[in-house]
Amino acid sequence: MSQATPETAAPEQAVGGVGAQVRLRDVVKTFALGSGARLTAADRVDLDLEPGSLTALTGPSGSGKSTLLHLIGAIETADSGSLLVDDLDLTTANRRTLAAYRSGVGFVFQRFHLLPALTALHNVMVPVLPLRHLDFDRVERARELLDAVGLAGREDALPSRLSGGQQQRVAIARALINRPRLLLADEPTGNLDSHTGQSVLELILGLRDRYPMTIVLSTHDTGIAAVCERVVHILDGRVNAE
């Protein structure tokens, strides 16, 4: 993994048609609750995610699904254990390396997090706007991705002029601007009706064929989970069942 800072260089791009390999071993993450108490959000988690796989994390609210995604995405740091993405151990990497790693991971959230004053095209380009050295044309790639998510012709639309499903499609295109080998989606259909949510999941499945990557998503929706190749149930911070 490159150790260049995200302000000066583009992250490593997906190569060779495979996604990232993820290995969690005995991973623990706790959060302070006050008065000296701590919440264990990840409790000695062991989990293997193969390159190119599509895995759903399910479980009740507060079970630790989002925490696992945040650990894999290096938004949070594990207290102990090892977490390898390909050959990079996120639990021992320095801040500079983690920043470069995060800039090469695709993130999709329940809330779309689009900038209201920017067009769909410019929202897709946001992750690469600070980068000075790119091996691709950011406008051309953003247009390609909007076309891939079914929004060709809506490049100049502001988020307020798009439906919820269309806004999530813009968010997905934005997550793919760096051609990540790993896509993490936290309740990506949670703010959508069932029909729109299903269409968004089908879109993600189709995009994996076009842009090879490993996908991990969290969901409360059993119908969404059932479409995934693998379902991992999380309870009290532990892998409870598959």
Residue 3 lies in a domain: no
Q: How many CB atoms lie within 10 A of CB 102?
A: 15
| CATH code for position 191 | 3.40.50.300
* Domain total in the chain: 1
Boundaries of domain holding 62? 22-241
The reply to whether 161 falls in a domain is yes
How confident is the model over 116-138, as a mean pLDDT?
Answer: 89
**Helix (H, G, I), strand (E, B), or coil: what is residue 172?**
helix
**Is residue 9 a part of any domain in this protein?**
no
Does residue 177 form part of some domain? yes
Q: Please answer whether residues 176 and 19 qualify as being in contact, where contact means their C-beta atoms are separated by less than 8 angstroms.
A: no
Establish if 12 belongs to a structural domain.
no
Scanning the chain, the segments in alpha helix (DSSP H) are 65-72, 95-102, 120-125, 138-148, 164-175, 194-210, 222-227
In three-state secondary structure terms, 138 is helix
Contact call for residues 108 and 182 (beta carbons, < 8 A) = no
Contact in structure between 10 and 135 (CB atoms under 8 Å) = yes
* Cβ contacts of 126 within 8 Å, gap of 6 or more: 115, 118, 174
The pLDDT tens digits of the residues spanning 134-192 come to 788 999 999 999 999 999 999 999 999 999 999 999 999 999 998 999 999 998 888 88
Instruction: Please check whether residue 36 lies inside any domain of the structure.
Output: yes
Residue 224 lies in a domain: yes
pLDDT > 70? residue 1: no
**Spatial strand order in the sheet of 22-34:** 37-49, 22-34, 80-85, 88-89
Mean of all residue pLDDT scores within the chain: 88
Residue 124 lies in a domain: yes
- Per-residue model confidence (pLDDT) at position 35: 78
| Helices and strands (H and E) in the chain: how many | 7, 10
pLDDT at position 17: 60
